[in-house]
Amino acid sequence: MSRFEALALRPPIEPMETRQVARLPDGERWQYEPKWDGFRCVAFRDGDDVELESKSGQSLTRYFPELVTALLALKAQRFVLDGEIFVQSDGGFDFDLLLQRIHPAESRVRKLAKETPVTYTVFDLLVDEKNAPMFERPLEERRERLEAFASRYLKANRAIVASPATDDAEIAGAWLSGDVARLDGVIAKRIDLPYAFGSRDAAVKIKRAYTADCVVGGFRGGKTGAIASLLLGLYDGKELAHVGFIGSMDAAERKRAGELLRPLVTTHSFTVAIPGGPSRWRKGGEAGEWFPVEPKIVVEVSFDHVTGQRFRHAARFLRWRPDKKPRQCTIDQLLSPK
C-alpha cells in the first residue's frame, strides 16, 4: 500500500482560500480567527508517515524536521490538519526567519531547526484520529471536533497549538486593531459551510493593510545595471494582466530581484493591459525599456487604492513568496478600499 492510501484524504489537495474584504462581516453565520503571518500548511499523518504540504501543493516536509517529529509524537495515528507554520520572535512573528528555513542543504535545515524552531497553529480538522472525514461537515462541527482533538492530543506538545477562534465580532475587531502583536489580520469563516477546497466562497480576510500576491512579469532598468522597478501581474482566467509596479525597494532587495529575474528574461509575459514602452526585450537597454520575464516569481505587495483593476499608485514591496504558485495570484484579490 502506498503512503497515505489508508487516509480518508490524501495529498495533494487544494486548501480552502479566502477573498479580501474591507470590513469584518457581522452576524451569526461567522467565526473569526487571527490571520497568522507564516506558511499555510496541511499536515497529513498516516502511522509513521508525515507529509507537510504548502498552499501551492509543494512539499514542505524536509524543511521542518522538528515539526515532523512533533506530529509523530502525537498519540493520534491518523489525521489531516490545516494550519499555519510560523517563527516566533520577540513576541511576534518573523517571516524573514521563516523564509530562511527553505534551504537546499540538509545540514543548514537541521541547524536552523534548532536555532529557529517553528510553531504550527491549527485552525481546521479535515480528518480526525479515527480516520473519519470531517471536511464534508460544516465548520461549526469541525471546530468542535478540533477543540476536542486539541484537548486530547495537543496539550503536551508546544510546537503544535490550536488557533484561537471566536464568534464575537468585538473580539475580532480588537484583534484587528492591534490587541495581538504583529498580527496579520483576521479571517472570517462561514460556520454553516463544509470545507471549500480551492475556493474563496467560504471565508474572507480582513487585513491591517491591503495586500496582494502578485506575479512579477517584468522589470525596468538595464539588463546588467540596477533594477529600477518591478512590473506586477495578476491572472484573470488564463490571461496575465499588468496591474501596477513596485518602485521603491532597498538595495538588498534590488540585488535579490536581479539575481532572480535576469535569468528569466524572455520575449513575452503579460497578455492583457501590457505596459507602455517596448513590449519585448532588446539588447540596447534604452531608458524606459522594460524586460519581460517568465511568470515564475511571486511577491507580496501592499497598496492603497484600485482603479480599473490597477493599483492607482505604486505598490510597496513586502516580501518574496516562494510558497505561492503564480497561478494562485488572481485578480479577485483586488478591491477598492473605502
Catalytic positions, please? 35
Q: Which whole-number Å values give the CA distances from 286 to 50, 103, 275, in the listed order?
A: 52, 37, 15
Quote the cell numbers at residue 249: 525597494
Q: Which amino acid is at 231?
A: L
Cα-flanking dihedrals φ and ψ of residue 31, to 5°? -115, 140
CA distance 64 to 136: 29
Q: Which amino acid is at 80?
A: V
Q: Which of 178, 185, 292 is nearest to 242 (CA)?
A: 292
Query: Across the chain, which distance is largest between two alpha carbons, in Å?
Result: 66
Tell the residue number behind the cell numbers 473519519, with chain if given. Answer: 132
Quote the cell numbers at residue 64: 521542518
Whether omega before 12 lies within 30 degrees of 0, making that bond cis, reads: yes
Q: Which of 152, 170, 165, 166 is nearest to 79 (CA)?
A: 152
Exposed, middle or buried, 270 (CB in 10 Å: 0-12/13-18/19+)?
Answer: buried
DSSP lists the bridge partners of residue 207 as 185
